[in-house]
């Protein structure tokens, strides 16, 4: 088992997390959103979706086990952005 910690910044209108095709609750913080949960060893897949003002910067950090992934981007003209399906190995 490993603890996964995810923090999202700059998503002024909302954020969603899907972990292994299931929605995970995010806690609203002063700087954005965060969550922490336990996972078993193996390969997992996640997607982070964010909502904000067009062009707004956002970032996310996913860490746990032996890896840390960082995502950065800007909202589209429609005010949204997403990571692709991202594999995450926990050993």
> Tens digits of per-residue pLDDT, 46-89?
999 999 999 999 999 999 978 899 999 999 999 999 999 999 99
Give the domain range for residue 79.
Answer: 2-90
What is the dihedral angle through the alpha carbons of 27, 80, 90, 4, rounded to the nearest 10 degrees? Answer: -10
Number of domains in the chain: 1
What Rg, from alpha-carbon coordinates, does the chain have? 13
Q: What is the pLDDT of residue 65?
A: 76
Please give the Cα distance from 71 to 46 (Å, whole number). Answer: 12
8-23 per-position pLDDT tens digit: 999 999 999 999 999 9
Q: What is the pTM of this model?
A: 0.93
């Amino acid at each position: 088992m490993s603890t996964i910690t995810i923090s999202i910044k700059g998503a002024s209108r909302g954020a969603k997390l899907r972990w292994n095709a299931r929605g995970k609750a995010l806690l609203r913080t002063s700087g954005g959103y965060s969550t922490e949960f336990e996972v078993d060893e193996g390969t997992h897949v996640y997607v982070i979706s964010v909502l904000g003002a067009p062009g707004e910067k956002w970032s996310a950090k996913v860490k746990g086990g032996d890896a840390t992934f960082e995502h950065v981007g800007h909202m589209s003209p429609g005010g949204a952005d997403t990571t692709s399906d991202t594999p995450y190995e926990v050993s």
